[in-house]
Every structure is written in structure tokens, then in C-alpha cells.
């Protein structure tokens, strides 16, 4: 599970001491694991919608369960990322995230065009991912300085989302969703560029970062589509 190497790559501009072969291996394994992580996510969402287990998780209670579970899993992934346990823990995390998403999906499915809205959000998320993946392979500039600004932006976004849980402002939700799409699209580019440049050598950590960006983009797109395009006619 440990993808770290000691090979020095003489290619100018990278500076991470990781060979091109190793960078390609990490990128390939990350893509495979990211694709695999979609399976438990969909399964978790299906279980949540079918059973209604998350129906009562609204407001503050839902926030506590989500944040507690998410940060608990992320801590466990960080601790197991260099062992054989890392992949199963990551997949369990994606199941949990799918389960947490099921409440919103059930709400959108209540619209007459709910299925179309979900597929549109999925297609939009995939489009953002492919666009960022393409940019990461052609951009030569070092994007490492983006990290701290994106982290600050994400923290502000989380604070705004927490406040909006209690305020329940539709306008606030729209603003947060739009900002989330922009911030996590940039995060996706940043993380992909780090893998391409050799700055991330553990594919479990890389998958976790990309998964979180995709999850937030999908959720935000679905929120925007549900508010602006949901139809009961």
C-alpha cells in the first residue's frame, strides 16, 4: 500500500524526487480506486433512500452525525493509508458518505424530474473532473501555493454552511453551493497537479482528496438544480 520511493527524478520543474514511472503508478491507482469508491457511495445512497434511515437527520443532529462520522473516518484513513486496511476503510467511508447524501437525493427524487436532475448533477461533476484532469496534465506552473488559500476558503465555506443549517436561508444555500463548486473544482485541480508532479505518493490519500472534491461538487450541483429546476408538475 505504500507507494513511496527514493528514486530521484532529474526532470526539471518537479523537485519532489519521485520518478515519472512512480507518478504514473500513483495516478493510475488513484483513478482506479476513485472509480471503485463510487460503488459503495451509490450503494449507501440507495440504502438510505430505500430505508429512510437518514430521514430524521435534519438540522443540528444531521450536522453532528455527518461531521462526527466524516472526521472519524478521515482520521482512520490517515492512520491506515500505508497498510492493507487502508482501502477497506476508505470504501467504508464512501458508503457512509453515500448514506449521508441519501436525504438530499430522496428530496430531489420527490420532484417529477428528480431522476434527470440527479443525472445532470452527475454529468456536471464528471465534466468538471475531466476538465481539471486535463488541465493538470498541461499546466506547467507550480500550483502548490494555492493550497493554503483553498484551505482557508473551504473553512470559511464550512462555517457558512454550519450557520445556514440554523438560519435555513435559501439564498444563503445558493451562494454556498456556487462557492463550493468553484472552491472544490480548484481543489481538484490542485490535488491532481500534486499527483502529476509527484507531490502526493500515496494513492489512498490522493483518492480521499479527490473524492471529497467530487462529493462536494455533486452535492452543490444537486442543490442548485433542486432549488432552481425541481418540478412537481
- Would you kindly state where each structural domain of the chain is located, as residue ranges? 20-229
Nearest CA to 196 among 138, 145, 127?
Answer: 138
Tell me the C-alpha to C-alpha distance, in Å, between residue 149 and each of 161, 163, 169, 186: 18, 21, 26, 10
pLDDT of residue 5: 35
The whole-angstrom separation of Cα 160 and Cα 172 is: 8
Taking 50 as the pLDDT cut, the residues of the chain under it are: 1-13
Nearest CA to 31 among 146, 139, 147, 126?
Answer: 126
6, 135 contact by CB (below 8 A) = no
Pairs from 81-86 (Cβ < 8 Å, separation ≥ 24): 81/1, 81/202, 81/204, 81/205, 82/1, 82/2, 82/202, 83/1, 84/1, 86/1, 86/204
pLDDT of residue 73: 95
Burial (0-12, 13-18, 19+ Cβ within 10 Å), 61: exposed
Nearest CA to 39 among 95, 89, 90, 84?
Answer: 95
C-alpha cell at 75: 482520521
The whole-angstrom separation of Cα 212 and Cα 60 is: 21
C-alpha cell at 129: 473532473
pTM of the predicted model, to two decimals? 0.87
Amino acid at each position: 500500500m505504500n507507494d513511496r520511493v527514493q528514486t530521484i527524478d532529474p526532470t526539471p520543474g518537479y523537485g519532489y524526487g519521485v520518478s515519472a514511472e512512480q507518478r504514473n503508478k500513483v495516478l493510475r491507482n488513484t483513478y482506479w480506486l476513485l472509480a471503485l469508491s463510487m460503488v459503495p457511495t451509490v450503494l449507501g445512497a440507495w440504502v438510505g433512500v430505500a430505508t429512510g434511515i437518514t430521514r430524521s437527520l435534519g438540522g443540528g443532529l444531521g450536522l453532528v452525525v455527518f461531521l462526527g462520522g466524516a472526521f472519524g473516518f478521515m482520521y482512520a484513513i490517515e492512520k491506515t493509508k500505508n497498510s492493507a486496511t487502508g482501502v477497506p476503510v476508505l470504501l467504508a467511508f464512501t458508503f457512509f458518505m453515500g448514506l449521508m447524501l441519501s436525504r438530499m437525493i430522496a428530496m430531489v427524487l420527490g420532484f417529477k424530474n428528480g431522476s434527470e436532475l440527479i443525472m445532470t448533477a452527475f454529468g456536471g461533476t464528471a465534466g468538471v473532473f475531466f476538465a481539471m484532469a486535463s488541465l493538470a496534465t498541461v499546466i506547467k506552473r507550480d500550483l502548490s501555493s494555492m493550497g493554503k488559500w483553498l484551505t482557508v476558503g473551504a473553512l470559511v465555506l464550512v462555517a457558512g454552511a454550519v450557520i445556514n443549517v440554523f438560519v435555513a436561508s435559501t439564498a444563503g444555500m445558493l451562494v454556498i453551493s456556487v462557492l463550493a463548486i468553484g472552491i472544490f473544482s480548484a481543489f481538484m485541480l490542485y490535488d491532481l497537479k500534486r499527483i502529476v508532479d509527484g507531490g502526493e505518493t500515496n494513492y489512498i490519500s490522493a483518492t480521499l482528496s479527490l473524492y471529497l472534491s467530487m462529493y462536494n461538487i455533486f452535492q452543490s450541483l444537486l442543490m442548485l438544480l433542486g432549488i432552481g429546476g425541481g418540478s412537481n408538475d
